[in-house]
A and B are shown apart, each in its own frame.
Chain A
């Protein structure tokens, strides 16, 4: 047999097609799948949250308190505690089961948190912004609203799901995971904005029950609107709705 050399016409070992298109397709699948998984797991956690027993919740609370509750400003804590205690007669019997404890901590952030076990953490940065007692009652009522909707447990659950997901995939490649994780955070923020709205509306209802008006809510929101200089689109990435929008639905609720 005579040897006749020839070159290969087609390379069967390399699949034709654009790698860029493949990347886009894969990213869509992976991000879509993870977001779906995250939403489903989040829903499961939200469904579970109302059934977490008081004992478990207080146990979880103690765990948190050790880490977050540092640098207490005792005088301020006492003052706010009195305001919260004043809400007790107006709470539903279910909400009254928790023992609400206010904790003012030295921190420049303008924020307040509802922790498992009934602890309301208020950062001193927020207190510096507040000028009247009625505004303060609105903030506290807003946090009580989170307890009423059990957001403090739901949020915790979803954060846990996000954490587990990210850590599982972090083993593969941290940069790619970051991208995926950021997409998930977007979805979480939307959830979060809905929760904030529900807490706002609950607070308005509670203030009306206690004082007959919701002056504090309006005052505080107007102040936020006045001081708001950030671009409106920024709120797409934020955990809270835009102050102007909050003011609008609070007005509607009155």
Chain B
């Protein structure tokens, strides 16, 4: 019985705090996305693809941005229930979305005012999967690319 009470308390706690955190995170992501909007990020590999005729490259350097995001207790339970019946694990979608957008933002913010970031790559890895059975359910998203400055 006590276990059940603790379970529901954790569920309510996870839901309220988790939703507040998620809302705030999305707000911050949207604001910063607007701010960094003028800097284009593309996944083209070749310099010829991004270079306008007659222009030359002044510098090219690696920029990275990475983030570790965790899921709340409520969403984890939701996902574990979904595991039983199969289907779209909706509760993890925001986690992945936030992770990806945050990583790209951090990468953009890390770059020293380039003209464009090319060859964008995104990688994810699961953290704490093998640590124990009740895995902490968090992911790392790493975004990296080449920051290009044109010669004027």
Binding site for B on A (CB under 8 A): 3, 5-7, 11, 13-15, 17, 19-20, 22-23, 26-27, 29-30, 33, 169, 171-176, 178-179, 182
Contact = CB atoms under 8 A, between A and B. Distances in A.
Contacts, number: 71
Contact of A13 (B82, B83, B93): B93
Closest 3 CB pairs of A and B: A175-B7, A5-B37, A26-B81
B34 interface: yes
B40 A179 contact: no
Contacts of A174: 3
Contacts of A172: 80, 83-84
Interface in B63-117: 74-78, 80-85, 88, 90-91, 93-94, 96-97
Contacts of B76: 173
Given A7-B34, A23-B74, A175 B93 contact: no
Contacts of B96: 13
A186 to B, nearest CB: 13
A20 B7 contact: no
| Chain B interface residue number, banded | 20 to 34
A15 B82 contact: no
Contact of B78 (A7, A19, A171): A19
Contacts of B3: 174-175, 178
A7 B93 CA distance: 20
Contacts of B97: 11, 13-14
Contacts of A20: 15
Counting chain B CB atoms within 10 Å of each CB, the highest count among A11, A26, A171 belongs to: A26
Counting chain B CB atoms within 10 Å of each CB, the highest count among A15, A33, A175 belongs to: A175
Contact of A178 (B7, B10, B15, B81): B7
A176 to B, nearest CB: 6
A73 to B, nearest CB: 33
Contact of B4 (A5, A173, A178): A178
A176 B81 contact: yes
Contact of B10 (A11, A15, A175, A182): A175
A67 B102 CA distance: 59
Given A5-B37, A30-B85, A176 B77 contact: yes
B69 to A, nearest CB: 14
> Which secondary structure dominates where chain A touches chain B?
helix
B6 interface: yes
Contacts of A30: 81, 84-85
A179 B75 CA distance: 17
B90 A179 contact: no
19 contacts: A6-B37, A7-B33, A11-B97, A13-B93, A13-B96, A13-B97, A14-B93, A15-B93, A19-B15, A19-B74, A19-B75, A22-B91, A26-B85, A29-B85, A30-B84, A171-B133, A173-B134, A175-B4, A178-B7
B81 A23 contact: yes
A179 B81 CA distance: 12
Given A7-B37, A11-B97, A179 B83 contact: no
A175 B6 contact: yes
A26 B88 CA distance: 12
B38 interface: yes
A19 B6 contact: no
Contacts of B134: 173
Contacts of B78: 19, 22-23, 26
Contacts of B77: 23, 173, 175-176
